[in-house]
A and B are shown apart, each in its own frame.
Chain A
Amino acid sequence: MEQFDIVIIGSGPAGLAAALEIEQSGLKQIIIERENRAGGILKQCIHDGFGLHRFKKRLTGPEYAELFLKRVIEKKIPIYKNTFVTEIIEMENKSYRLTLVNSEKSLFEIEAKALILANGCRERTAKQVFIQGTRPAGVYTAGTAQYFTNILGYLPCKKCVILGSGDIGLIMARRLTLEGAKVVGVYEVKDTPSGLSRNIAQCLDDFDIPLYLSKTVTKIHGDKRVEAVTVQKVDLNLNQIPGTEEIIACDGLILSVGLVPENELAKSLGVELDTHTKGPMVNQSLMTSKEGIFSCGNALHVHDLVDFVSESAEIAAKGGIRFVQNKGEEELIHVEFDEKSFLYIVPQKINLLDIEENIHFYFRSKKVLKNVSVVIRTGDTIIFKKFYHNMKPPEMETISVNLKNVLQNKEICFELKEGVST
């Protein structure tokens, strides 16, 4: 059985960035990829706007992935493609045994001292948002529609309704329109859009595609192929308002109703999950509750920009390297936060024995806010404060703080304060 220091699961933007980081340490690693090509979801994200933070360039998805993939190939970092992890078992010596399956090597096992889970996220489906009616052809998640359109070159529909104003939904509205389909409208159950403002401008407004807020699709019609959908207004508690039903003729329904970290492997290992992010609970080196198992990218929590996915992968990789080279002790405290203000904060825990370097926090606000300050408090002392003109749930925020010698009573708490108060 082949032994590795670190095994990375997934060769998307997270996995590739982690691999390049690990390569510098000289540790023995391998990437496991279930698809036939590396690059993850970026392969089908052919639009631009990636890499503005990291490379100060407007790259397309494939271009962004290739910047990493080229180096991974140059450095001869091995990737098992078309390979599926069917089981991971924790061994007595605290290492992990992975059972893999592929065509060439059949069913085989490898062992790793540390694992980096970089296996991304998946889309919520029509059923998960409780859309009723029939089950005809023509109901696709935005990602599936994107695969058909961009990878295979086929339009999934001629005239469609898009439910959900998440970024992929907006991007698909533009893609489908450009390639010759009619997008009747984008419907959003919430009273604010889920995607970035610039995508509303350049994907909807540019093409005169209407965006309807506080309206959702409740029913699908048509036995064989979608013939229409029922849309309905919802109140502030997102309950459907009877009598507001409208039937919209279309031959497709595209859903962009949220992403969920793919955490089946993490669950099978008994990794503790966060109900807010639906991903694992991690400390500042992105190690989960299981020693030696790290999580990064969208498998950890859903990011808004790929640049931060790569960044988190590098943090996890550094953590993995340190873990393999010198298993450190842990003394964990929880990062407290005001649940009324924040959707989530990652990392959820701080290892007090490892706070020499800056800690990167990622978070999202719970609602659209203007002129607020994020405050980090320990005891009665404010150790960090940052002012934001705008804060919106679709936009993930990130801050970097050094906590060395400042934590009192082993406590850390995130709060939001209105205005510029001192």
Chain B
Amino acid sequence: MIAKYYQFDIIINKPIICTEENNAIKLEGEVSSWQEVIIAGKVAAKSKYRGVINKITVKGITVPSFQRPNFTDNIIEGQRPDVLIIGGGVIGAAIARALSKWEIDLMLVEKECDVAMHASSRNDGMVHPGITHPGSLKAKMNIRGNEMFEDLAKELDVPFKRTGMFILFNSWLEYLFGSTFIIRNAKKNGAKGVKRVKVKEIRKIIPNIPSDIVGGVTAPTTGVCPPYEMTTALAENAIMNGLKLSLETAVINLVETNNEITKVITNRGTVYPKVVINAAGLFADEIAAMANDQFFTIHPRKGEIALLDKNKGDLLNTIVSQVSANLLKSDTKGGALVKTAEGNILVGPTAFEQPYKEDYSTDYTNINALLEVKLPIIKGIEKGDVITYLAGTRAATYKEDFIIEKSKKIKNLIYAAGIQSPGYASSPAIAEEIERITIQLLKEKREINKKKNFMSVRKGIPNLKLLSKQERGELISKRRDYGHIVCRCEEISKGEIIDAIHATIPALTLDAIKRRTRAGMGRCQGGFCTPLIAQIMVEETGKNMLELTKKGDGSNLVSKFTKS
């Protein structure tokens, strides 16, 4: 069926062919800019179809498929798990943890050399309050996820802080409309405690806001929790409960017969799962296409983030953003100043559409613009306080909502896709929902019971700096390496680094150690500690210095021994 969608001619002025596939609208054609691709997708999203498959290309731009490991072996060949989860981001890890409560054979494949390598280590770590998009799955999952987050973080030994959030306004008109809008959304969604606050009240909590602020809205349930730590903790806890985690394992193809996936072909062998869960983040659409079930396209919405020196951390103990009317209409909040659980102030993220899913480069103009807009929200922070910046991409669909469902076509495929902001906050709820769908599906085949010996508590690497002096002292007397400081900016000991190297999911790259321990995240950005950590890695893993990498294959720290 060819349905010519009338608005395209007006907006894009290029021939776009529309067809129907898997009950979704599929767009094809060639345009001259990525912006036009996005516009076409957005227009199509307003149709009654359940999704938009956007195959429109841009003249001169080739969008690459996902990067995958450049080796093959047979390490998982012939495995027959009950459930195979594709993707080791926070969503895949949370699902793994939820499903590990059950007596099933569970496997997770992740193409990178560690979990949380994409969006899950490239976001602001904010646990949103759920004040946007009433009626959406986003709203529903966000509210439930926020409720679950604190207990989950406690069980998994991940720092969580319910910091609350303040949205500031500097014009009475915007304040009137903006606050009404937010409070109405919050009520519809069921977000608790969202209300207007007077400037005087705000100043009690954030003394150094600009003088032109007329009022604000508070969302007290908002929290922060380091996303890479949460992802690692979820995956480690799942492993404690039987999950098989296979890293550097990319799905090359899915073999589908009679609307059922029979084989999953990876670079490390072919797997024969009963149920497949697509939690492949930015590449969930490519995985769907492998199963001939594509009904959505992920368009990567990039965001850039800047981090400030910890020594300015005391200037903010909550989350603050300043909203103007046009931001309220956009798909994301457009960034804030976030006091992270680690103690830094984080600025961002920005949001803009671009074609590359794994391009995490930052741009001078964007970072500059971000800082110019956001830094003035608090007096006393400046450009010179920036210690690092990074980029991530949100896995957005054109419908701009989560896809959490069993495939309408493939009997044993389940989707946790299109998980963008507030995906992190929603992750425990998404996992809960996927757990329900999966168990229901498995129960159609055989009886499934909950594990009697499920271990819900996981202990992380101790963060000695945060302990009381007495506790810290006692730990050092037990493990001398805890007394040897290696990272001077974040005060991380050799013991903590050794713990990370030998953890349930071993940290075997410099970046993995940084994500686990924060060593190298401070103001010197690893200048002093990188060679010291490299030496510890050599001692603990028996590897040669030349084999060590920053983030897996091809990212070697050093090039050559000088005296050979």
Contacts and interface: CB of A to CB of B under 8 A. Distances in A.
Interface of A: 34, 82, 84, 86, 99, 101-108, 122-123, 125-128, 130, 132-137, 140-141, 143-144, 147-149, 151-158, 179-181, 218-221, 223-225, 240, 251-252, 264, 267
Contacts of B540: none
A137 B560 contact: no
B389 A127 contact: yes
Contacts of B491: 84, 86
What DSSP secondary structure best describes chain A's contact surface?
mixed
B531 A106 contact: no
B13 to A, nearest CB: 30
A155 B556 CA distance: 11
B558 A156 contact: yes
Contact of A125 (B469, B525, B545): B525
Interface stretch (B1-9, B213-221, B284-292, B473-481): B473-481
Output the residue of A84, A149, A221 with the most chain B CB within 10 A: A84
Contacts of B542: none
B151 interface: no
B454 interface: no
B527 A143 contact: yes
Given A123-B527, A125-B527, A141-B527, A135 B360 contact: yes
Contacts of A240: 364
A155 B469 contact: no
Interface in B520-560: 523-528, 530-531, 534-535, 545-546, 549-560
Output the residue of B482, B555, B560, B562 with the most chain A CB within 10 A: B562
B483 interface: yes
B360 A134 contact: yes
B545 A225 contact: no
Output the residue of B387, B491, B525, B552 with the most chain A CB within 10 A: B525
26 contacts: A101-B485, A103-B484, A105-B483, A107-B472, A122-B527, A123-B527, A125-B387, A126-B525, A127-B386, A127-B387, A127-B389, A132-B361, A132-B362, A137-B549, A140-B530, A144-B526, A148-B531, A148-B558, A152-B534, A152-B535, A153-B563, A154-B560, A155-B560, A221-B361, A223-B67, A224-B550
Given A147-B531, A154-B546, A180 B560 contact: yes
Contacts of B546: 154
A135 B74 CA distance: 31
Nearest to A152: B531
B485 A133 contact: no
Contacts of B525: 125-127
A227 to B, nearest CB: 10
A225 B555 contact: yes
Given A125-B525, A134-B361, A144-B527, A156 B485 contact: no
A133 B361 contact: yes
Contacts of A143: 527-528
Contact of B483 (A102, A134, A140): A102
A159 to B, nearest CB: 9
Given A127-B387, A154-B546, A225 B528 contact: no
A275 B391 CA distance: 31
A421 to B, nearest CB: 38
A225 B485 contact: no
Contacts, number: 148
A241 to B, nearest CB: 13
B561 interface: yes
B80 interface: no
A149 B534 CA distance: 13
B300 to A, nearest CB: 15
A126 B390 CA distance: 13
Nearest to B554: A224
B473 A137 contact: no
Contacts of A252: 559
Nearest to B535: A152
A352 B362 CA distance: 52
Contacts of A108: 473
Contacts of B524: 122-123, 125
Nearest to A44: B531
A252 B559 CA distance: 10
B72 interface: no
Nearest to A87: B469
Contacts of B534: 152
A107 B550 CA distance: 32
A370 to B, nearest CB: 32
A267 B386 contact: no
Contact of B388 (A84, A127, A158, A218): A127
Contact of A34 (B311, B488, B551): B488
A224 B531 contact: no
B331 interface: no
Contacts of A154: 545-546, 558-562
Contacts of B527: 122-123, 125, 140-141, 143-144
B559 A104 contact: no
A153 B527 CA distance: 17
A105 B480 CA distance: 9
A137 B556 CA distance: 6
Given A86-B491, A152-B545, A158-B560, A122 B554 contact: no
B201 interface: no
B429 interface: no
B77 interface: no
A209 B481 CA distance: 44
A358 B361 CA distance: 54
A148 B546 CA distance: 11
A355 B360 CA distance: 58
Give 4 nearest A-B pairs by CB, closest first.
A137-B550, A224-B554, A107-B473, A84-B485
Contacts of B465: 86
A129 B285 CA distance: 38
B372 interface: no
A137 B555 contact: yes
A342 B390 CA distance: 36
Contacts of A140: 527, 530
